[in-house]
Structure 1
Amino acid sequence: PRCIFEHSEITSETVPFFPKCEEVCGILVFNSNTDLSEDQLEKVFKNMKILNGGIRIENSRLKSLSFFTVSKREQRFFFDCKSIIENNPKLDASTLCDYGYLHSVTGIKVAGNMRDCGCYNIGLNKCQVLFGGLKIINTTTLPTFSPITEIRGDILIQDTNFANLSFLGNLERLVISDAGKKEKMTINIRNNRRMTRLGLPFLKQIKNIWSSDIFANLENLSPDFCMTIEEVILFLEYKINFVNLHAKFCKDPGNLHNLKLCHFESMKDLEQNCRYILGDLMIESGDEEYIYKLGTVTHIFGTLTVRNTNLQSLIIMYGLSYMASLSGLYVMLTDNNRQVQCDKLSIFQSSFSVPVECFGGNREIVVFLESSVAFRYLDARLCDFNPSELTPKTCRLTNLNDLDSDCVYLIGDLQVDSGDEEHSEKLKTVSVIIGSLTIKNTAVTDLSFLGNLRKIANLNVYQVLYDISTEYTNEHHV
């Protein structure tokens, strides 16, 4: 309660009640009753770095918003709210569309001031920056947004007869504000049965001002809907997670800046010096002599299968950074490649959803863990495997007492309970747990015995990933 501002407007009578907190909840209304100067307001707000709630600046005598404190670390003030700044005849709000105090707000409305910036559902054929996102539903009328180069907010285009998004042909930048507090679609283009292309030739940046994931949905479009290699590269580089991706690759790859695109038929026939490979890459017995051709490849647009080979390493593929498959599994390393060191594939930065039947003993699940792949849906189980055939050392867990030493990968639900403290040293080498972690009712004072643990993965969505509760929790650093 002490960090909540409950008054209906900002005046000399209400500011004594303004909380002296870095993060404040409330609706700040500046209007004709606001009788404080910018210098006086700066003293009122000097402690506040984050506002959760809303701002309304209407019919005020304010000339600037310099009274808001800028975070020294972030170099901007954080608003987690909708903001309206309108009808302030002395206020110059022209810089808010660039890198002013409110530049991180995507839902801001600025109108009727001495100088405005951007637009918010009005004058869309005259402005370059659109605030509040774009929502077009159930229409056959093609809009005119040709001047718009930047959209701040989410895009929803649904139930139209549009063949493409060429009405946004000058769009260069999409900026969203999604802190990840709830799941939402940043780009949601669905049920547009005549849409065959995106048609955004100048789009170069998709930015979330927060560090959370960006989700997109391309669903129920024309059966002929396709994406160029250039477009897919953009989505890969900005790590867009697709819930649905009803598309195929276009025959026209787009602008690849003179980098070589090769169509895969076989390793023997694959050309040299390829930067991009289009097709399902298959490496089989007898292809070992051609593996050198993959040394220049950075992107694979298709799937990768390695099976029945004598390969001991895939280090030749050190430059491979991205993979995108519009259907099916990305990577399959079969059990016949027992010597392949899969950790070399950790440079994959794939971000599309993948259907998988099971993760095998060739450490497929570790490949995805090391790659930071974000699964929206994962219907899979862990396949049977022989731990003795895997390196680094992989151990099945039954109980901590019987666990071997020097395990790096641990398969099973790890539970450290009262009486297990003496065996906790066995866990010092564990870096990955495929299962769950529970620590309870123990006398441990810290978790240094898990100092090498980097990742936990669990294919059971209904099971808690980790649970740490001991009587020492509040007294020590656990």
Structure 2
Amino acid sequence: MNYILSLLIIGFIHLVHSKIDKDLQTFFKKNKCDQKCTFESGNLTFGTIDLFPSSCETVCADLQLDQRSNLTENELTSVFKNMKHLIGRLKVLNTNYTSGKFLSGLESIECDGNGMLEWGENFKLLEIGLINLTSIICYRVDIWQNFNLTRLNMPNLKILFYPWSKYSLPVKESYIALTFLSTDFCITTNEMATTINVTDYISYKYCEPVLDDKLCKEPVKGCIEIFGDLEITDDTDLEIMKTIEIIYGSLIINGTDIKDFGFLESLKYVASLEKNMEAIIVENNPKLNNITFPRLKVPRPEKLFKIVLCFQKIRSTMKSSIRFTNNNEIISLDPSLCINLRKSMKLDDEYIKINDDNCSEFEETL
């Protein structure tokens, strides 16, 4: 009986693994993977290195580097020197590598529906170092327990999303998570901007940026991005605000005579990393009677590879991302204002506070 049970268990395990392999093979087939450029061994080690299609620019693989890989960073650099596009999955786990620059030639990664990009428990890793990577088309990017990691160093990354409808798959939540890294870890403004179309789990600081005519610490004519908190008061020149698209910090509107947010006509994204601080704080504005934002409103669909994307608009380390306090009393008396704001930004109820109340508490009065 035990023998039969063992056979059944082994058969079940084999079936599960076969199913996973079959799914990945189907994905490879859809992407027209060249058999000569497919690495079927998965784990790259000294014993499998000769099987890797090192002459191919596009490689299809469930590629994993781990404690068994016993290959130096120089050896990996040589193996991967021609690879520009990876179709499948990539995991780098429990290694002694200090940098991922052995993959610096990589320009794109496209995962299957079960695939992800994962770097975990690489305790000597200082940077990811994928300096030429421009797109990650994976539903999940997980970078965790790399305790000495201080930088991503992925300066050219522009695209991070997963096109579920392209592969007729059930939609899951796409996200990037950066957890349990060095206390000195920081993320650049360019890297943060790339996460705009996915849910992110990032609670670290910004790297000090290189300022130019477009990225400014103080709003001046022509600025498109603001680094740091942007406070708008009664003395602020609202005309200058019309060109600002992104705030890497919090938006604070305090003590003004504004009636609406029309002067923020270009603002698309507010990303605060400050602990215990909302992304948007609006207080002491007695004439304010319209609380929706022109471009932070309904996410503007954008097309990429014929897939429609909807971008998230604000992010904060706090669950309550938007706070209104002591403004025109109509904001508290008219529940539709809060409800319309919540719906227009597709936020959960607890994301918006008006005098410490959620939208649902106003909705009950309708």
TM-score w.r.t. length of structure 2: 0.63
Alpha-carbon distance in structure 1 between the residues aligned to 2:296 and 2:352: 23
Using CA pairs under 8 Å that are at least 6 residues apart, name the structure with larger relative contact order, 1 or 2. 2
Aligned residues: 279
**Structure 2: unaligned runs, 5 residues or longer:** 1-14, 41-50, 65-78, 166-170, 298-311, 325-330
Matched, 1:136 2:83: no
Pair 103,230 (structure 1): closer, same or farther in 2 beyond 3 Å: farther
Shift of 1:170: 2.6
The answer for the alignment partner of 1:82 in structure 2 is 24
The Cα of 1:218 is off from its aligned counterpart by 1.1
Q: How far has the Cα of 1:381 moved from its partner?
A: 6.9
Q: What one-letter code is carried by the residue in structure 1 that aligns with 2:193?
A: I
1:165 pairs with one of 123, 128, 131: 128
Q: Is the 8 A contact 1:150 1:174 kept in 2?
A: yes
Query: Helix, strand or coil: the match of 1:233?
Result: helix
Which residue in 2 is equivalent to 1:210?
Answer: 164
Distance 1:203 1:128 in 2: 14
CA contact (8 A) 1:277 1:301 kept: yes
Determine the structure 2 residue equivalent to 1:317.
264
SS in 2 for 1:291: coil
Q: 2:215 aligns with which of 245, 253, 261?
A: 261
Q: Does 1:226 align with 2:172?
A: no
The residue type paired with residue 230 of structure 1 is N
Counterpart of 2:203, as a letter, is: H
Distance 1:232 1:372, change over 3 A: same
Distance in 2 of aligned mates of 1:301 and 1:204: 17
Q: CA deviation at 1:365?
A: 6.0
Tell me the residue number matched to 2:235.
Answer: 287
**1:292 & 1:343 partners in 2: Cα distance?**
19
Give aligned-pair identity as a percent.
Answer: 20
- Quick one: structure 1 residues 173 and 367, their matched pair in 2 at CA, closer, same or farther if it must change by over 3 Å? same
Structure having the higher helix fraction is 2
Distance 1:280 1:382, change over 3 A: closer
Give distance in 2, aligned partners of 1:214 and 1:172.
Answer: 18
CA contact under 8 A between 1:280 and 1:301: conserved in structure 2? Answer: yes
Change in CA separation of 1:221 and 1:297 when aligned onto 2, cut-off 3 Å: same
Partners of 1:364 and 1:324 in 2: CA distance? 21
Q: Output one character per residue of 1:384-442: Cα deviation in whole Å (capped at 9) or x when no partner.
A: 77xxxxxxxx9x99xxxxxxxxxxxx7129xxxxxxxxxxxxxxxxxxx8xxxxxxxxx
The structure 2 residue matched to 1:369, chosen from 328, 336, 343, is 343
Contact persistence 1:307–1:337 (CA under 8 A): no
Does residue 118 of the first structure (1) align with residue 59 of the second (2)? Answer: yes
Q: Per-residue displacement from partner, 1:451-478 (whole Å, max 9, x unpaired)? A: xxxxxxxxxxxxxxxxxxxxxxxxxxxx
Q: Does 1:347 align with 2:296?
A: yes
The one-letter code of the counterpart of 2:191 is E
Q: 1:227 to 1:365 in 2, by over 3 A?
A: farther
Measure the CA separation in 2 of the matches of 1:172 and 1:358. Answer: 32
Q: Does structure 2 conserve the Cα–Cα contact (< 8 Å) formed by 1:162 and 1:195?
A: yes
- Cα deviation 1:122-158 (Å, max 9, x = unaligned): 8655533323322122221245223322222311112
Q: TM-score, normalised by structure 1?
A: 0.50
Q: Is the 8 A contact 1:274 1:296 kept in 2?
A: yes
Q: CA 1:149–1:261 in structure 2 vs 1: closer, same or farther (change >3 Å)?
A: closer
Q: Is contact 2:265–2:295 with CA below 8 Å preserved after alignment? A: no
Distance 1:235 1:357, change over 3 A: closer
**Counterpart Cα distance in 1 of 2:134 and 2:268:** 24
Structure 2 equivalent of residue 146 of structure 1: 104
Closer, same or farther: CA 205–339 of 1 in aligned 2, 3 Å: closer
In structure 2, C-alpha distance between the alignment counterparts of 1:311 and 1:187, rounded to whole Å: 41
SS in 1 for 2:132: coil
Task: Give how far 1:249 is off.
Answer: 1.8
CA distance in 1, matches of 2:127, 2:194: 18
Tell me how far 1:192 sits from its aligned partner: 1.7
Match status 1:304 vs 2:260: no
Q: Do the aligned partners of residues 259 and 124 (structure 1) sit closer, same or farther apart at CA in structure 2, a change above 3 Å counting?
A: same
Select which of 234, 238, 249 maps to 2:206. Answer: 249
Larger Rg belongs to = 1
Rate the CA distance shift 1:152–1:242 in 2: closer, same or farther, 3 A: same
For residues 199 and 163 of structure 2, the distance between their equivalents in structure 1, rounded to whole angstroms, comes to 16
Letter of the structure 2 residue corresponding to residue 279 of structure 1: G
Q: For residue 194 of structure 1, give the secondary structure of its aligned residue in structure 2.
A: coil
Change (3 A) 1:221 1:312: same
Q: Unmatched 5+ residue regions in structure 1?
A: 1-25, 30-52, 57-80, 86-95, 179-185, 265-269, 386-393, 398-409, 414-432, 434-478
Assess, with a 3 A threshold, how the Cα gap between structure 1 residues 253 and 247 changes in structure 2: closer, same or farther.
Answer: farther
Q: Is the 8 A contact 2:246 2:268 kept in 1?
A: yes
For the residues of structure 2 that align with 1:54 and 1:188, how far apart are their CA atoms? 20
Residues in 2 aligned to 1:231 and 1:357: alpha-carbon distance in whole angstroms: 21
The 3 A distance-change label for structure 1 pair 218 and 336 is same
Instruction: Say whether residues 1:197 and 2:128 are aligned partners.
Output: no
CA contact (8 A) 2:231 2:252 kept: yes
Cα distance in 2 between the residues matched to 1:164 and 1:102: 30
User: What is the letter of the counterpart of residue 226 of structure 1?
Assistant: C
Which whole-Å CA distance do the structure 1 matches of 2:321 and 2:24 have between them?
A: 44
Look up the match of 1:66. Answer: none
Q: 1:346 to 1:103 in 2, by over 3 A?
A: farther
Contact 1:345/1:367 (CA < 8 Å) preserved in 2? no
Q: Which amino acid aligns with 1:287?
A: D
Structure 2 CA distance for aligned equivalents of residues 205 and 240 of structure 1: 10
Distance change >3 Å, CA 321–CA 259, structure 1 → 2: farther
The separation in 2 between residues aligned to 1:248 and 1:124, in whole angstroms, is: 32
